Structure 1
């Protein structure tokens, strides 16, 4: 399946605009940090750098200026002028932006709404870039068509892991609605609208847990679900393709709510955030898109 030329042009322009927008922000932020390494000019303090290899913001500012700033603008120009090279460069810079935010949160913590916003922009850059990559021709050999690509096998592993662990976590919340060693009752103080773990447990176990296992089954067996025919005609992929991305976005949102409302931090949050981003991105891999094209009757 090849995207229509007008659709490809629109995607390419959107990718270029996004890269240039991020680049302008990177240049502005980088200049602010390099000109005032204390961070005061951009509302930051070197206290956040304790435990990091940097005494001030000069080096991070240079990286921000040159890579996420100038580099991102150059990538945006390439996305417009070099249709074949542009998506690959855009994918690389989207990955760099995701890594930049991940490293930033690991060192200084989640201190500003712009961090998750730019994580979303980096993810969107990767999605647009992957959508512009050509999908290989569907093989004629039935055995080759049935063979699952490596990216799809990785998605299945991630969904299986997420499904089992989220289902287990949800069951624990339902069995111990007023707290347990893993989900203390004290954390409920920061949660609005609920006074027990029942509702979060239903969302975690039912939505992310059972939902992941159901979508994983859909990817594995590709059953014909007639109630999804309209959706599949629109997306031109099996319904589990979109389901995987929705689960990834839901997982990222779940972790975001945790970061805002629950005081304690854990490396497990970073792991699940990475899984969420991967579940949003991997369905756009050309090999996965080809494999999940609707079967011809």
Structure 2
């Protein structure tokens, strides 16, 4: 039988699941973008990147896979372990995703997924903040 401190609240379970899902999605998507830098994965050519410092999807894919994929998976792992840095990692990951989606909406193009991912990032930040 588990001790009371081992029991996870619904908020904590939701946070871990959301962080892990966002991490896995970012890692997978970023890897596919890096492997297909012509934009075929997104059905969006490199011309969409004209207002950015990028000329292909390779570097954005690598940044997505490592920064967001790795960051969210690390945040989920820390939360799973109840590490003292879990709260800060979750808040940072969530806030970074909101900022990325805002930048993407302004500099690349707005798509409904931008709002969905920004909401997911905001949810992670709030759940982590509430600790």
TM-score by length of 1: 0.41
1:99 aligned onto 2:110: no
- Aligned 8 A contact 1:32 1:42 in 2: no
Aligned residue in 2 for 1:53: 53
Cα distance in 2, alignment partners of residues 43 and 69 from structure 1 = 21
Matches within 5 A, 1:212-291: none
Shift of 1:70: 2.0
| Residue deviations 1:124-176 (CA, integer Å, cap 9, x gap) | 001101111xxxxxxxxxxxxxxxxxxxxxxxxxxxxxxxxxxxxxxxxxxxx
1:84 aligned onto 2:84: yes
Question: Which of these two proteins has the greater Rg computed from alpha carbons?
Answer: 1
Could you list the runs of 5+ residues in structure 2 that have no partner in the other structure? none
Cα RMSD (Å) of the superposition?
A: 1.9
Shift of 1:83: 4.5
| Residue deviations 1:209-242 (CA, integer Å, cap 9, x gap) | xxxxxxxxxxxxxxxxxxxxxxxxxxxxxxxxxx
Cα distance in 1, alignment partners of residues 78 and 130 from structure 2 = 16
Cα distance in 2, alignment partners of residues 92 and 32 from structure 1 = 24
Aligned residue in 1 for 2:73: 73
Aligned residue in 1 for 2:113: 114
The runs of at least 4 consecutive aligned structure 1 residues that moved more than 4 Å come to 5-8
TM-score by length of 2: 0.88
Could you list the runs of 5+ residues in structure 1 that have no partner in the other structure? 133-297
The structure showing larger relative contact order (alpha-carbon pairs under 8 Å, at least 6 residues apart) is: 2
Q: Cα 1:7–1:107, aligned 2, differ >3 Å: closer, same or farther?
A: farther
Cα distance in 1, alignment partners of residues 67 and 77 from structure 2 = 14
Partner secondary structure for residue 9 of structure 2? helix
